[in-house]
Amino acid sequence: MATKLTTREAVNAFIDRHDTFLFDCDGVLWYGHTLIPGVDKTLELLRRKGKRILFVTNNSTQSRQAYTKKFEKLGLSASENEIFGSSYAAAVYLQKVVDFPADKQVYVIGQAGICDELDAASIRHNNPADDSSTIDWEGVEAITPDPNIGAVLVGFDMEINYRKLAKAYVYLASNPGCLFLATNDDASFPHHGRTFPGTGSMVAAIKGCTGREPRVLGKPHQTMLDCIVAKYDLDRTRTCMVGDRLNTDIQFGVQGGMSTLLVLTGVTSEQELHDARHNITPEYYADSLATLNMADTADE
Ligand X SMILES: O=C(O)[C@H](O)[C@H](O)COP(=O)(O)O
- Minimal CA–CA distance to 294: which of 96, 41, 97? 41
CB distance 249 to 282 below 8 Å: no
Position closest to ligand X via CB: 198
Residue 82 Cβ vs ligand X, minimum distance, rounded to whole Å: 14
Q: Which is nearer to ligand X, 26 or 82 (CB)?
A: 26
Residue 10 Cβ vs ligand X, minimum distance, rounded to whole Å: 25
Crossing angle of the two packed helices 162-174 and 199-210, in degrees rounded to 10: 50
Task: In whole angstroms, give the CA distance from residue 13 to residue 182.
Answer: 38
Q: Does 27 bind ligand X (CB under 6 A)?
A: yes
CB distance 177 to 145 below 8 Å: no
Q: Which is nearer to ligand X, 45 or 83 (CB)?
A: 83
Residue 245 Cβ vs ligand X, minimum distance, rounded to whole Å: 6
CB distance 230 to 254 below 8 Å: no
Site string for ligand X, 208-237 (x = CB under 6 A): ------------------------------
Residue 183 Cβ vs ligand X, minimum distance, rounded to whole Å: 7
Q: Does 82 bind ligand X (CB under 6 A)?
A: no
Residue 15 Cβ vs ligand X, minimum distance, rounded to whole Å: 22
Of 26, 40, 82, 157, which one interacts with ligand X (CB under 6 A)?
A: 26
Q: Which is nearer to ligand X, 199 or 265 (CB)?
A: 199
Number of neighbouring beta carbons within 10 Å of residue 81? 11
Q: Which of 16, 19, 24, 130 is catalytic?
A: 24
Q: Which is nearer to ligand X, 56 or 179 (CB)?
A: 56
Residue 24 annotated among the catalytic residues of the structure: yes
Crossing angle of the two packed helices 64-73 and 112-120, in degrees rounded to 10: 130
Q: Does 25 bind ligand X (CB under 6 A)?
A: yes
CA-to-CA dists, residue 225 to 56, 106, 122, 196, angstroms: 9, 23, 23, 26
219 is in an annotated binding site: yes
Residue 26 annotated among the catalytic residues of the structure: yes
With 0-12 / 13-18 / 19 or more C-beta atoms within 10 angstroms meaning exposed / middle / buried, residue 193 is: exposed
Q: Which of residues 150-179 bind ligand X (CB under 6 A)?
A: 156
Q: Which of 16, 26, 235, 287 is catalytic?
A: 26
CA-to-CA dists, residue 232 to 82, 83, 96, 147, 226, angstroms: 9, 11, 16, 37, 10
Task: In whole angstroms, give the CA distance from residue 65 to residue 277.
Answer: 40
Site string for ligand X, 182-211 (x = CB under 6 A): --x-x--x--------xx------------
CA-to-CA dists, residue 139 to 125, 159, 160, angstroms: 21, 18, 16
Instruction: Tell me how many degrees the CA angle 265-91-119 measures, rounded to the nearest 5.
Output: 110
Q: Which of residues 48-67 bind ligand X (CB under 6 A)?
A: 57-59
Task: In whole angstroms, give the CA distance from residue 243 to residue 18.
Answer: 16
Q: Which is nearer to ligand X, 105 or 252 (CB)?
A: 252
Residue 31 Cβ vs ligand X, minimum distance, rounded to whole Å: 10
* Element containing residue 4 per DSSP (H, E): strand 3-4
185 is in an annotated binding site: no
| # binding residues, ligand X (CB under 6 A) | 13
Residues at the binding site for substrate are 219
Residues taking part in catalysis:
24, 26
Give the interface with ligand X as residue ranges (CB under 6 A): 24-27, 57-59, 156, 184, 186, 189, 198-199
Residues at the binding site for Mg(2+) are 24, 26, 244
